[in-house]
Structure 1
Amino acid sequence: MTKLTSDWIARAETQAVCRMLTDAGAQALFVGGCVRNAFLEAPVADIDIATDALPEQVVVLAEKAGLKAVPTGIDHGTVTVVSGGLPHEVTTFRRDVETDGRRAVVAFSTDVAEDAARRDFTMNALYANPEGEVIDPLGGLPDLQARHVRFIGRAEDRIREDHLRSLRFFRFHAWYGDPLHGMDADALAAIAEHLEGLAILSKERIGHEVMKLLAAPDPAPAVASMRQTGVLQAILPGADDTALGPLVHLWPEANATLRLAALGRGFDEALRLSKADARRAEALRHAAEEGTPAELGYRMGAEDACAALALRAALLQQPLEDSDLEVARHAATQVFPVKAGDLMPDFEGPALGAALKDLEGAWIASGFALTRDDLLAKAEDHKKG
């Protein structure tokens, strides 16, 4: 029997939640991402536990065990049990009663196989008992071992249940799939045949999936497949992924916002981005299209300026010059030596602002070589002229 040996499984706080259930005769099975990632030796952030105990029972059992129970999604069977300050999502086995392409009406179950059947991909339908022994109701372990992202059962059925799964397929492939073996052909065909279902999804859900996809180590192959199946244009009309692959190569540390900027502009409404993410994506794309390395470094700071220069190189299909990065980093440390008071009262109002802007531009163009005295002399010449 396959057994997981991750440190988090043996953690006292986590085992306390399992004992809370098993001591009462209920099942306690780790499920989903924590099992998948433990097998792949990837970081595990969230602990999900499936059980045949009803959510109201979970609350009572937690209180008896001296643990904190938070009914975060009790109507859907989920109770967050906090043990030693660590949250554990405990969810009752479920089966789908009705689906509409966006959400499901569920009924509680006592059968782990029913719970597994309602999930999306075979690699997410793996369970493990408190000892780490893997339980595989649907035969998904070989897929996980092969890093093969495959829908449970018929791909079209899973997609009709929730059209977000079309986007999740690409996201999961970017994070967990084997790029050398390509994508599941049945999944791609089903996704291409059900593009119209993407229109019923909320922009927030789409944005969440897209940004998580773009945060993968290399999302370019998955995004290329999204373009080929028609998904990319369906959710981001006008998007162009030509620069995404080069950007990943030139700037591996690029975050999701920079990678989104590589796809185009004006996607904040389509994805319902936060104002901060929307502004940063727009600023990076604008900077990549104009401005010298010195100006970008001075105005944006070293991190964003270097990111914008990497994006520029990717968009132009050109090398990223180390000399440009050094100029930007140096520029980020510079402080303009002239203040408004230095030009008053000779300049006031709009004329003062214009003079400061002209002097700043000349200072940047000089490679920050012009001194305060040089700049004040230029201002004096400007006044006389």
Structure 2
Amino acid sequence: MTSTIPSSIPDTMSGIVLTGHGDTDKLHYRDDLPIPILSNQDVLIRVAAAGVNNTDLNTRLAWYSKKEADSTDASWSGQALSFPLIQGADVCGIIVAVGSKVNPKRIGERVLIEPCLQEANGETLNPPGYFGSECNGGFAQYTKVADRHAYAIQSDLSDSELASFPCSYSTAENMLSRANVCAQDRVLISGASGGVGSAAVQLAKARGAHVIAITSASKRQALTDIGADQVVTREDDLVSVLGENSVDVVIDLVAGEQWPTFLQVLSPGGRYAVSGAIGGAFVELDVRTLYLKDLSLFGCTVLAPNVFQNLIHYLEQGKIKPLVAKTYSLKEIVQAQEAFQKKNHLGKIVLTVATR
């Protein structure tokens, strides 16, 4: 049994569909997309704003594939994608309808969607999937998600500001949680001016850590303004500037050629957490460094329990602040992704969604 969509909601909607792996010519704006059909446990959300992420571009470009020029494993979960696909993992919106097994009192709630999904289309996902990858996401006027993944939020922040949080901040909080970051830890954060990196700076400071951010020279002051205690540039030699065995935790979103130095600057017993590889996916590891220094390495993808609820609490208590670099309309998704790829911004790029 499924829900009945209220007559006030149109039969079709506008949105962006990805028609295959490739360049931005695979992104198409359409105004004849069907409204999502709800399962018993789903909620229908009228989307107000949706953030742009590395995941969107990586999925489009088949970057996740470990087989060159092969799309059979080019998704977040390592499975082939089904096209056309509506992407968009970061969503702020209003619940406008619910499935038959969802409390109807939820209608009218302002919500953020937890992007790491344990359930989609009425089925448990094993392994978990990602919103806008293993199922349609938020680059449309309406979207659906399992009730358990729609979190009510009480906040004075705008829709665009709230849409800057779900993916980046939950990813950052998950990395900090896995690495057990606590007060007085010295934490080194790569890619600190990006969405996840800038989130990690704020969230690490909220835990009382000493934060060292890696960014470009032009963004030094901006990172200091959001809480970084020390800023080093991408061109700096970390061992020379920081010293060997000088940090307790590395939060890495870059990897690439600089990767071996991350282990050099980690102190014995240090922790390394990674959730991105924008600088290059293949790195050189001296296993002797790993075991002689008793290091712990954490790959972070699936959100640990309570991570997203913790994020909601931080927001409602005003402990973290939005960093919205620029907003675009849904029709301007190509311009938004091109701006995102240039990496000249601090924080998030967000698409605003107009409803009928």
* Fold in common (TM above 0.5): no
Q: Which has the higher helix share?
A: 1
Q: TM-score scaled to structure 1, two decimals?
A: 0.26
- Greater gyration radius: 1
Q: TM-score scaled to structure 2, two decimals?
A: 0.28
